[in-house]
Amino acid sequence: GTDSDMREFNMGFCGTGKNQYCSATLDLSDLNGEDIKYYAIAQDHFNTVQSTVIENVHVDTVKPVIENNEYSVDGDNVRIMVDSDGPAEVVYKDLTDDKPKWKKLCNEKQTEKTGNICDKTKRFKGKRYNTVIIRALYKADNYDEVSIKFFA
């Protein structure tokens, strides 16, 4: 896009009234990889106009692809290796935890330095079968994921 590109999106389908929430999705795939500026203008039926500040954002519509994932178990230690098609943050969630939450394996800079490979060893306690989801994430939260199961 250029500074003269402008896209108008009619949100007439949104409800009326005080404190209404409305959302929409725009297809920006033709701008993938570009830095853009955006803002929103809202106008009510009384012609009152409100606008947001201009924001800068990097358009990222492509999700990473996990090309290979391997793991090996040594007692409580599990070595997890994830190979993605580009530098990505790699996180995991152990669904067998009492309160499963996302934990970081590698950040984007680490995978960039190692040829898009995240290779980490984590300790899993409890002598149980674990079901773990592994995600490779790009900055815009586009992701690919795999699930692994093991006893540790």
Tell me the per-residue pLDDT of 56-92, one tens digit each, with 9 for 90 and over: 988 888 899 999 999 999 999 999 999 999 999 999 9
101 pLDDT above the threshold of 70: yes
Count of helix runs (H) and strand runs (E) in the chain: 1, 11
- pTM strictly above 0.75: no
The position carrying tokens 């106008």 is 43
23 pLDDT above the threshold of 70: yes
137 pLDDT above the threshold of 90: yes
- What percentage of residues in the chain have a pLDDT greater than 70? 97
For 2, 79, 104, the CA distances from 67, given in Å and listed in that order, are: 35, 17, 19
Tell me the per-residue pLDDT of 106-132, one tens digit each, with 9 for 90 and over: 999 999 999 999 999 999 887 789 999
Mean pLDDT of the chain: 88
